[in-house]
Structure 1
């Protein structure tokens, strides 16, 4: 069984300093706290129960996601928890429901537990920064880095939007509608739409203004009748796969087939899209590996004082049966 003395020896400090660093009950530098915590994690140290019956405080990190029910964020969260378990950290979870105001309250709640660091998926890092307090080491997940948040793990959402639109144009589609959750709630959706607009314009085609809807609670009630009448699209791009499923349901309620009448494609690559008949055409994002990368980057920053970095991961077009050539 690993002892506190072994942790102190690994960290290069006294037994008293190691105790203060792990329990946050005395004067000790942030650098030494990180060294001691890393040593404890590497050695698998677990504090013994003292006479008072209370365990020493286990280091934790905080994770903010937009929605726990979205498979994209659930996959990332699972990888974060697995990585932190190995490092001896607990994981606190909060969700924003794609609401910038609730986002700030959720982060404040995470900070009450004095986390070692934070992994945040925010609505928009440019606007969220003004609402957030001073933060411990922080890594953005799925958001592009900013001057205030230079550490991030992202996929190229703009490039993914371009690639999906290019594929549809190559298949003969010219009237392509983009259906999205509110851009104010997701800069990821906005980047995907910007990729669509740029590609349409590059081919001399007129991009259609995005149809924006709430991210929460309306996918199964989506009404496309007005958009279908106004634009007569031959293809619809949804800003994520869950919304793509809602689009397919709305088209079927209008008596239209997919892809016979209208082609549909999405983003994320969630498993349920592969189980559909026909399987969903989508841009697959490596959500699990992104979560693991964000966790490793945060640990490196918090425990080793490593510099903030921007890590970009590759996406992949997965052709299914919901898109056809015309």
Structure 2
């Protein structure tokens, strides 16, 4: 069986250098690292990284908790995270909660059992989370994604309130005054709550009433039986959705039931996923810098692991125009 010593001999390096090429690749010159990897490949050698890391009571694993892998916003974030983590010799271990707060404790506990070096978490409500309160007493560093916590937790987010206020102002600039907001269950997302607050802020600044928000059973799937009463009661000319998948689903339901978008009803999302720009009508949305957010999350977490102090960062967002939001016409009846 091939061992590390044979790999080192074929690569023309010491055994210690070969070991570093696998365990701490950032500490080895790229040309040297490539010779070691080429030698390992030709000799069919695979190092037992996890076993060695566990013996050292640490791993180069980052645990990541997201609500769902079905939402492209998390897929885009994870792609950037994986690329950044890999460049620093780390790997991701991913778990989902299906937007269920009660699953968070079990998911985090399972990742801790795997001795992850740190955690990146998206939870339901960061400031009220018992899981985070307990985790802050543990030795494993963690950072929050998308949250803007009042508690002293490390976090990287966008300004959810300001982002939705910008989206509301965009619709106001198109002449809309009857604007309603559609979301999933409020208690399952503090991001949704902040976005609702931004909507209320912009409507109040314009001197307009804010109709009650429509809470759907799902964060990503619209139901015509729930949407129809809103249209009947408030006759909105525009809808703000708290995420892009929900906005896409809303548009599909509207058009399926004879309500053209944006001719009768404009729709705006929040996330800026790439898929939205390729649809027809193209989705008007608040763009989160997902690639930057994913990279910064890993960079900040690795700094925490190295002993740096806690930081909270808020990245800029902007409204991406799209043909799903048009100038005011006759309200939908």
TM bucket (normalised to shorter chain) is 0.7 to 0.9
Residues 220 and 249 of structure 2 are in contact (CA less than 8 Å); yes or no, is this contact kept in structure 1?
no
Which deviations, in whole Å up to 9, do the C-alpha atoms of 1:123-179 show, x marking residues without a partner? Answer: 110122356633411111101134341x11111110011101111112111111100
Distance 1:70 1:159 in 2: 22
Q: Secondary structure at the match of 1:184?
A: helix
- 1:100 has 2:101 as partner: yes
Q: What is residue 251 of structure 2 aligned with on the other side?
A: 248
Residues 184 and 220 of structure 2 are in contact (CA less than 8 Å); yes or no, is this contact kept in structure 1?
no
| Number of residue pairs the alignment of both structures matches | 296
| Unaligned residue ranges in structure 1 (runs of 5+) | 10-21, 23-36
Residues 59 and 115 of structure 1 are in contact (CA less than 8 Å); yes or no, is this contact kept in structure 2?
yes
Q: What is residue 323 of structure 1 aligned with on the other side?
A: 325
Residues 262 and 324 of structure 2 are in contact (CA less than 8 Å); yes or no, is this contact kept in structure 1?
yes
Q: What is residue 122 of structure 2 aligned with on the other side?
A: 121
> TM-score, normalized by length of structure 2?
0.81
Residues 165 and 199 of structure 2 are in contact (CA less than 8 Å); yes or no, is this contact kept in structure 1?
yes
Which deviations, in whole Å up to 9, do the C-alpha atoms of 1:77-118 show, x marking residues without a partner? Answer: 111111111111121111111111011111111111111110
Residues 65 and 108 of structure 2 are in contact (CA less than 8 Å); yes or no, is this contact kept in structure 1?
yes
| Unaligned residue ranges in structure 2 (runs of 5+) | 1-7, 54-58, 329-333
Structure 1 residue 276 displacement after superposition: 1.1
What aligned pairs does 1:140-155 form with structure 2 within 5 A after superposition? Answer: 140-149=144-153, 151-155=154-158
CA distance 1:41–1:60, shift in 2 (3 Å): farther
Distance 2:225 2:319 in 1: 26
Q: Secondary structure at the match of 1:194?
A: helix
What aligned pairs does 1:144-293 form with structure 2 within 5 A after superposition? Answer: 144-149=148-153, 151-215=154-218, 218-219=221-222, 223-293=226-296
Q: Which of these residues, 27, 37, 42, is aligned with residue 27 of structure 2?
A: 42
CA distance 1:246–1:174, shift in 2 (3 Å): same
Residues 179 and 210 of structure 1 are in contact (CA less than 8 Å); yes or no, is this contact kept in structure 2?
yes
Q: Secondary structure at the match of 1:127?
A: coil
RMSD of equivalent CA atoms: 2.8
Q: What is residue 137 of structure 1 aligned with on the other side?
A: 141
Q: Secondary structure at the match of 1:93?
A: strand
Which one is further off, 118-127 or 129-138?
129-138
> TM-score, normalized by length of structure 1?
0.83
Distance 1:306 1:165 in 2: 38
CA distance 1:70–1:183, shift in 2 (3 Å): same
